[in-house]
C-alpha cells in the first residue's frame, strides 16, 4: 500500500500500474524502460502540465475536432495507464481506437483489446487485417484499413520516431504525447504534447469539451496559430529555468 501523502505518490502508483501490466503480458519489457525514460523527463518538467503543454493540448483538441477520421493509437503503456480515458476521448471526438505495437504479438494484441473493451470501447481496430502505409514494406508502416491507414488526424502517444515520420510523410496530422521534448517523435510530429499521458489525455478530453461548440473557422485559427518548433523551444527553456528556481 502506497501512502497518499508520500511525496512521490503519483509516480509510485504509475510504477505499480506499469509493473502490473508487465506481469499480465500487456506490456513488453521495453515498455518498462520507456516508462523510466518518461519519468526522468517528467521530473525535469515538474510533474505537471506546463504552459507549453497546455497550448499543445488546446491545438490538438482543435485538430481532433476538425478531423474527418480521427484515430487514437494505443500501445502497451497507454493501455496500462489510461485505458478508460482513451475510450472517453474517442467518444468525445467521434474517433476510432487502434492498437499499434512496436513489439507486436497476437497475445499482446488480444490482451490490450480486452482491456479496452472492459473499459467501454465499442470497437477496437488493429487486431486483424493490416495494410502498409504508402506501400512501405516495414513493420513500422502497418495500419488498419479503416483506422490509421485512412485517418487524416492521428493521436499517437509514445510513438517511435520512424513511424511518426512515415505518418507525417503520408500527409496525416500527427499529434504525439511524449515526455521527451527532444525525441525524434516530438520533433517530427505536427503537434507535440510534452506531458505525461496520465495528465494529457484527461486534459485533452476537457479541452475538447471546451472547444466543441466553436465554428470550424475558429478551430482552424487555433491550429494555424500553434507553432510546434517554437513550443518545443519554450518547453526546453522552462527545463533550463528550473535550474535556478525548481518551483517554476
Site residues for Mg ion per CB under 5 A: 160-161
Q: What is the C-alpha to C-alpha distance for residues 21 and 110, in angstroms, rounded to an integer?
A: 13
Q: Does 75 bind ligand ATP (CB under 6 A)?
A: no
Contact 21/175 with Cβ under 8 angstroms? no
Indicate which single residue of 177, 203, 219, 222 sits in contact with ligand ATP (rule: CB under 6 A): 177
Q: Return the SS3 of 122.
A: coil
Residues in contact with ligand ATP, total (CB under 6 A)? 19
Residue 74, H or E segment: strand 70-74
- For the chain, the distance separating the N- and C-terminal CA atoms, rounded to the nearest angstrom, is 31
DSSP code of residue 49: -
Identify the CA nearest to 61 among candidates 70, 49, 52.
70
Q: Does 89 bind ligand ATP (CB under 6 A)?
A: no
Output the smallest distance, CB 243 to ligand ATP, in A.
20
Q: What is the C-alpha to C-alpha distance for residues 61 and 66, in angstroms, rounded to an integer?
A: 9
Strand locations in 100-185, DSSP E? 131-132, 142-143, 153-157, 173-177
> Does residue 245 have a known ligand-binding role?
no
> Does residue 173 have a known ligand-binding role?
no
Identify the CA nearest to 148 among candidates 57, 212, 159.
159
Contact 45/239 with Cβ under 8 angstroms? yes
> Does residue 27 have a known ligand-binding role?
no
Q: Does 142 bind ligand ATP (CB under 6 A)?
A: no
Q: Considering the complex, state which of residue 144 and residue 185 has its C-beta at the smaller distance from ligand ATP.
A: 185
Cell numbers found for residue 166: 512515415
Q: Does 184 bind ligand ATP (CB under 6 A)?
A: yes
What is the CA angle 130-131-137, rounded to 5? Answer: 115
Q: Does 181 bind ligand ATP (CB under 6 A)?
A: no
Indicate which single residue of 185, 190, 231, 235 sits in contact with ligand ATP (rule: CB under 6 A): 185
Q: Considering the complex, state which of residue 186 and residue 196 has its C-beta at the smaller distance from Mg ion.
A: 186
Indicate which single residue of 21, 28, 38, 147 sits in contact with ligand ATP (rule: CB under 6 A): 38
Indicate which single residue of 35, 58, 96, 140 sits in contact with ligand ATP (rule: CB under 6 A): 35
> Does residue 179 have a known ligand-binding role?
yes
Q: What is the C-alpha to C-alpha distance for residues 213 and 129, in angstroms, rounded to an integer?
A: 36
Give the residue at shortest CB distance from ligand ATP: 38
Q: Does 196 bind ligand ATP (CB under 6 A)?
A: yes
Binding-site residue ranges for ATP: 15, 37, 178-180, 184-185, 196-197
Residues lying near ligand ATP in the complex (CB under 6 A) are found at: 34-35, 37-38, 41, 77, 81, 158, 160-161, 177-180, 183-185, 196-197
Amino acid at each position: 500500500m502506497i501512502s497518499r501523502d508520500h511525496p512521490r505518490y503519483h509516480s509510485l502508483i504509475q510504477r505499480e500500474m506499469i509493473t502490473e501490466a508487465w506481469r499480465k503480458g500487456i506490456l513488453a519489457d521495453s515498455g518498462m524502460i520507456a516508462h523510466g525514460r518518461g519519468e526522468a523527463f517528467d521530473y525535469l518538467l515538474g510533474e505537471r502540465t506546463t504552459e507549453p503543454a497546455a497550448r499543445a493540448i488546446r491545438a490538438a483538441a482543435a485538430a481532433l475536432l476538425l478531423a474527418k477520421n480521427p484515430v487514437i493509437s494505443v500501445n502497451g503503456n497507454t493501455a496500462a495507464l489510461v485505458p478508460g480515458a482513451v475510450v472517453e476521448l474517442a467518444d468525445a471526438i467521434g474517433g476510432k481506437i487502434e492498437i499499434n505495437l512496436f513489439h507486436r504479438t497476437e497475445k499482446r494484441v488480444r490482451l490490450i483489446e480486452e482491456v479496452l473493451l472492459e473499459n467501454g470501447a465499442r470497437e477496437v481496430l488493429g487486431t486483424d487485417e493490416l495494410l502498409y502505409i504508402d506501400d512501405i514494406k516495414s513493420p513500422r508502416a502497418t495500419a488498419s484499413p479503416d483506422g490509421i491507414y485512412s485517418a487524416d488526424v492521428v493521436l499517437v502517444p509514445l510513438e517511435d520516431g520512424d513511424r511518426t515520420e512515415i505518418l507525417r510523410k503520408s500527409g496525416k496530422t500527427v499529434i504525439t504525447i511524449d515526455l521527451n521534448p527532444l525525441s525524434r517523435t516530438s520533433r517530427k510530429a505536427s503537434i507535440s504534447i510534452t506531458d505525461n499521458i496520465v495528465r494529457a489525455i484527461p486534459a485533452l478530453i476537457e479541452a475538447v469539451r471546451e472547444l466543441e461548440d466553436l465554428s470550424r473557422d475558429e478551430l482552424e485559427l487555433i491550429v494555424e496559430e500553434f507553432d510546434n518548433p517554437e513550443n518545443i523551444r519554450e518547453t526546453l527553456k522552462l527545463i533550463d529555468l528550473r535550474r535556478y528556481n525548481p518551483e517554476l
